[in-house]
Amino acid sequence: MESISRPLAGDPPFAAWNAAIATAADAIGTRLFPGALLAALRLLAPVQMMNGFFYTPDGRAFDLYNESPAADRALIVDRYLAGAFVLDPFHTAIMADGRPRMIAMDACAPDNFTQTEYYRLHYAATRIVDELGFVIPLADRCVGVLSLSRLAPAPAFTTGERERLHAAAPIVCAFGHRHWFHAPARRREGVEPVARIADRRLTPREIEIVTLILKGHSTPSLAAVLGCAPNTVKVHRRRIYAKLAISSQAELFRLFWR
């Protein structure tokens, strides 16, 4: 991962952007494409890491593009694919709406996301301080996300950088669609398990509530999502904890984190 440079003050020279995009377009379908695309995007905003995953309708996640060093791959890629992705706000947003666009982590994360065990034990450990993702529809009703990340101690993306990357989203999503469209057919032959939150002691409604709790929804947010009163949410939570013989969200997380 490269060190970050000073954020750009404005738009890159039009000629430089055109040349970089032409290089990326010419590289579609080759191993050079991800690097060429990243080089073009760095003209819009300095980034330290680009990662890609795709999700299947039956609840699986696969590697789309990840060039993380070996020391970081176990955390950033392997643990994520093993099941952490089910609590990722990007995954939730993308599976709800897979249309091509740019999404920001801070815009799609629940209100208590930074207080969750997932955030503390996984997301914060990656040192990501800000993340933007491009949603890419793929074959077989799969959908991918190509994310650009800033790592601590770098600052978050500025408003101007977000605007430039948002403006580039149609190109990024279209190029990504062309390059990775057939990725599901090539990579779904493995035995990756379906990852979902489940427990026979709980009703479907209680599993839904557990999932929302683990994703970072506060009691008011849960009430809004479920369409019920906050006191009803508290009753559900107490009942769930009693059934599972636990007393904290940390225990709830450890119970469902395999």
pTM, two decimal places = 0.87
* Alpha carbons within 13 A on the beta-carbon side of 7: 13
Give dist(CA 149, CA 45) in Å, integer: 11
Q: Is the dihedral of CA 15, 19, 25, 28 positive or negative?
A: negative
Indicate the SS3 state at residue 63.
strand
- Cα separation, 248 vs 213, in Å, equals 11
Task: Quote the CA–CA distance of 49 and 126 in Å, as a whole number.
Answer: 11
Where is 162: in which H helix or E strand? helix 159-180
Q: Which pLDDT score is estimated for 7?
A: 43
Strand partners, 51: 66, 147
Per residue of the chain (258 residues), what is the pLDDT tens digit?
444 444 455 677 889 999 999 999 999 999 999 999 999 999 999 999 999 999 999 889 999 999 866 667 888 888 898 888 999 999 999 999 999 999 999 999 999 999 998 998 889 888 999 999 999 999 999 999 999 999 999 999 999 999 999 999 999 999 999 999 999 987 655 556 666 788 889 999 999 999 999 999 999 999 999 999 999 999 999 999 999 999 998 899 888 875
pLDDT at 3: 43
DSSP 75-140: IIIIHHHHTGGGG-HHHHHHHH---SEEEEHHHHS-TTGGGSHHIIIIIGGGTEEEEEEEEEE-GG
Domains along the chain with CATH numbers:
14-187 (3.30.450.80), 204-256 (1.10.10.10)
pLDDT tens-place string over residues 197-252: 888 899 999 999 999 999 999 999 999 999 999 999 999 999 999 999 999 988 99
**Whether 47 contacts 158, CB under 8 Å:** no
- Residue 128 to residue 221: CA distance in whole angstroms: 25
Could you give the dihedral angle defined by the CA atoms of residues 88, 90, 92 and 96, in that order, rounded to the nearest 10 degrees? -170
CA angle centred on 202, ends 120 and 61, rounded to 5°:
50
